[in-house]
Structure formats: structure tokens, C-alpha cells
Amino acid sequence: MRLILGSASPRRRDLLAQIGVIPDEVRPADIDETPGKDELPRRYAERLAAEKGAALAAHDPDALILTADTVVAAGRRILDKPADEDEARACLALLSGRRHRVITAVGLRLGGKTWARRVETQVRFKRLSDAEIAGYIASGEWRGKAGGYAIQGLGAAFVPAINGSYTNVVGLPLAETAALLDGAGWRRDMASAAA
């Protein structure tokens, strides 16, 4: 059984390798990721993960296809990947001193059969000073990150507490993803992961 990872994220590849999952192919899905009018964060993440799987399955119906979508949500508001420094600054200012949610929908598809999980993690940011925000913007680490930060990097200094899966905040909840793969009959290479 071939495993295709439907993601361009190097973080997801690295996370999967930690649990002995090495995809046979990495192929991002080309879908429209624009949120629907009044679409809520949970539904948005679930829809995108499902649409990515369907798009890839159309080209390779015999492969096991793993897709995911991670959303940072402040209340009902979806915080996407900032397009520029001003958007990144606005994200950090919004998250400063408050809690937010990181929601990842994980989808697995084999032929006409699908499996799905949704994982939510509560993240608390400390109150950020203007200097901290400016320094983080200057670092460039915010680029390509939902919500404008990376908990696995310099952004860790902003997070005094989380409630839930840390790997979910990085980009893929590993325990839940491993359970989906196990349920679908995929055998992980635990020996290679431990080496």
C-alpha cells in the first residue's frame, strides 16, 4: 500500500518521521483554500482536509492518502498565514495576552473509504511588548505560519501554557494521525523512528 502525504509542509514530514511514517510520495493538493462566507474555523479545517484528499484520490485511487489542514482561530475568526509584515504584526497583536485555538483536521482516504479526526489545542499567549513583536517580525519566522507564529521556534517564548496536543500546534497531531494510519492497516516503521 502506497502512502501519499498531501501536504507541502516540511514540518508535517518531520513530524511523521518521528513516529516511523515515511510517505512514498509527497504531493500537495491544488485546491482553493478561501474560507466560505461565515465559515467557522472547525468546519473550514474539516472541509479543506477532505477536499485535499478528494483531489489527490482522483489521480491515484489505489493509494492511501493522508491530508491535513491546520487553522489558528481567535474566537470565530480564522487567522491565516500572514501575507506580509503588517498582517503578521496584526496577528501577534490580536493573540497577545489571550487564548486561542489551533484546530487540525486530519483525513485519510483509500479508494472510497475515508477516516477523519479533528483535534483542538488551546494556546495561551503572554502579553507581548512592542519590542517583542518587532523582534519576531524581524526574525521572519512568521512567514508561512498560520496565525503568524511557530511554537516550535522562537514563538515558544510567547506561550506559557497549552491545553492539548503540542504536535497539533506544530501542524499535525501525531497520536491521532498514528491511530488513523493503524486503523487503515498502515504499518509504521518504529525501528527506523527510534534510530
The correct CATH number of 3-194 out of 3.90.950.10, 3.40.50.300, 1.10.3720.10, 3.90.226.10 is: 3.90.950.10
Question: At residue 73, what are phi and psi to the nearest 5 degrees?
Answer: -125, 130
3 state DSSP class of 26 = strand
121-153 pLDDT per residue, tens:
999 999 999 999 999 999 999 999 999 999 999
Please tell me the predicted confidence (pLDDT) of residue 190: 61
Share of the chain above pLDDT 90, in %: 83
Please tell me the predicted confidence (pLDDT) of residue 163: 98
Please tell me the predicted confidence (pLDDT) of residue 193: 54
Q: Which residues are catalytic?
A: 69
3 state DSSP class of 91 = helix
Task: State the Cα–Cα distance between residues 29 and 15, nearest whole angstrom.
Answer: 19
Please tell me the predicted confidence (pLDDT) of residue 111: 85
10-65 pLDDT per residue, tens:
899 999 999 999 999 999 998 988 898 899 999 999 999 999 999 998 888 889 99
Torsion of CA 183, 187, 191, 195, to 10 degrees: -80
Q: Which parts of the chain fold into alpha helices (H)? A: 10-18, 41-57, 85-95, 130-139, 166-170, 174-183, 190-194
Q: Is the pLDDT higher at 90 or at 33?
A: 90
